[in-house]
C-alpha cells in the first residue's frame, strides 16, 4: 500500500538525491574519459564482484545517463511514495539480485548503467499491483504500464552494446522485490476477493 506519510515530498527527495549522485559520478567519470567503467560488472571475473554494487552508478556516456534519468526519477518516485524504507530495501534487493545474476549469467562485456534499477522499479510497480490487488496499487501499475510498457522490449538481445541481461534481471529482481515487500492482505480482505 502506498505510504500515507504527510511527508511524501521527503520520500521523493530521496530519489532526487540518488539521481544527483548518479550525475555527480558521471561528471567525474567523464573527466577521466570514463575510466571508472572498469568497475562495472564483468561476468564471472572475481575482481569484478564489487561491480555488483557499482554498476548502476556508472554510465558509458552522458547520453546513456540522460536516457535513464526521467524513468529513474518517475518510477523511483512512485516506489518511494510507499515509504523511504520500502524504496531503500527495494533498491538494494534489485541492485544485489540483478547484479549477481548479471555476474553469473551475463555475456562477457562490462555491464553498467542505472537501467537495471529502472527495469527493477518497473517490475516492482506492476507486480506489486497484481500482488496487492488494491485500487491505488493497481492504478499505479496501470499508469506505469501505460507510460513505460514499451520498455519491456529492452529485455530482448537486440543491440550488442545494450546490457539486455541487466534489463531482464532488473525486471525479475523488481518482481521478486514486489513479492517480498507487497503489503500483506488481511483475512477479511482475502475472503472479499
- pLDDT recorded at residue 188: 46
Q: What is the pLDDT of residues 68-108, one digit of tens each?
A: 999 999 999 999 999 999 999 999 999 999 999 999 999 99
Task: Quote the DSSP letter at residue 40.
Answer: S
What is the reported pLDDT for 191?
A: 45
- Residue 186 in this model has a pLDDT that exceeds 80: no
Q: What's the grid cell of residue 135?
A: 485500487
Q: Quick one: 8-182 is in which CATH superfamily?
A: Rhomboid-like (1.20.1540.10)
Per domain, the residue ranges of the chain are 8-182
d(CA 3, CA 10): 12
Q: Are 93 and 177 in contact (CB under 8 A)?
A: yes
Q: What phi and psi, each to the nearest 5 degrees, are found at residue 2? A: -65, 135
* Burial (0-12, 13-18, 19+ Cβ within 10 Å), 129: buried
Task: List, in sequence order, the alpha helices (H) in the chain.
Answer: 8-31, 51-54, 62-80, 84-105, 115-132, 135-148, 164-181, 187-192
What the block records as the C-alpha cell of 28 is 567525474
Amino acid at each position: 500500500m502506498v505510504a500515507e506519510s504527510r511527508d511524501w515530498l521527503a520520500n521523493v527527495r530521496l530519489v532526487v538525491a540518488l539521481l544527483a549522485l548518479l550525475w555527480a559520478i558521471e561528471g567525474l567519470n567523464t573527466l577521466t574519459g570514463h575510466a571508472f567503467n572498469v568497475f562495472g560488472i564483468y561476468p564471472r571475473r572475481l575482481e569484478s564482484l564489487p561491480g555488483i554494487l557499482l554498476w548502476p552508478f556508472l554510465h558509458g556516456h552522458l547520453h546513456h545517463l540522460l536516457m535513464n534519468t526521467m524513468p529513474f526519477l518517475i518510477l523511483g518516485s512512485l516506489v518511494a511514495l510507499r515509504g523511504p524504507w520500502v524504496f531503500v530495501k527495494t533498491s538494494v534487493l534489485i541492485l544485489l539480485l540483478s547484479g549477481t545474476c548479471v555476474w553469473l549469467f551475463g555475456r562477457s562485456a562490462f555491464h553498467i548503467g542505472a537501467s537495471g534499477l529502472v527495469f527493477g522499479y518497473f517490475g516492482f510497480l506492476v507486480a506489486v499491483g497484481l500482488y496487492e490487488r488494491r485500487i491505488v496499487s493497481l492504478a499505479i501499475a496501470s499508469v506505469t504500464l501505460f507510460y513505460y510498457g514499451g520498455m519491456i522490449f529492452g529485455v530482448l538481445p537486440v543491440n550488442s552494446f545494450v546490457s539486455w541481461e541487466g534489463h531482464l534481471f532488473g525486471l525479475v529482481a523488481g518482481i521478486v522485490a514486489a513479492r517480498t515487500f507487497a503489503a500483506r492482505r488481511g483475512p477479511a480482505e482475502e475472503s472479499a476477493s
